[in-house]
Amino acid sequence: MDTPVKLKTYIVEDNATIRENLIGTLEELAAVESVGVADTEEEGKQWLTSKPAQWDMAIIDLFLRQGSGLGVLAACRNRLPHQRLVVLSNYATPDIRMRCAQLGVDAVFDKSNEIDDLIDYCIAQGKALPDVRAH
């Protein structure tokens, strides 16, 4: 029996309630495995850049308790080819989406109305994982 490949995901989000709800939802619906969390820019940058083989996707909020998600994104520009950077923010304006694209972000989702789209994105990324990890 095939066990689905889990998408190893690191979450940078300073709101504990949102973070825990997001982890629970994604683990239940999208074969995501949370490999760690951070609530500050420095924590997120340090973990993601020092453990490149331990994550497939990072979900990053832009406004953090200390620092900015933009700093985390910039630190991860030279990630492995299969790794995905995703922004989940209440401020997914056209300007923010453009800035994220400039930083090499793979997808931007609005917390208020695009959670289903995020789940679909995670499911699609999880299905592609066995192929990309093999290379």
What are the pLDDT digits (tens) for 25-51? 999 999 899 999 999 999 999 999 999
Tracing tokens 């620092």 back to the chain, one arrives at 67
DSSP bridge partners of 63: 68
What are the pLDDT digits (tens) for 47-105? 999 999 999 999 999 999 999 999 999 999 999 999 999 999 999 999 999 999 999 99
**What local confidence, expressed as pLDDT, does residue 47 receive?**
98
**What local confidence, expressed as pLDDT, does residue 113 receive?**
96
Q: What's the whole-number mean pLDDT along residues 121-130?
A: 88
Asked if 30 and 21 touch (Cβ cutoff 8 Å), the reply is no
**What local confidence, expressed as pLDDT, does residue 135 receive?**
47
Q: Which distant-in-sequence residues (6+ apart) come within 8 Å of 52 by Cβ?
A: 79, 80, 83
**What local confidence, expressed as pLDDT, does residue 5 receive?**
79
Sign of the CA dihedral running 122, 48, 40, 5: positive
What are the structural domains of the chain? 7-133 (3.40.50.2300)
Q: Let me know how long the chain is.
A: 135
The answer on pLDDT for 1 being more than 70 is no
pTM of the full predicted structure?
Answer: 0.93
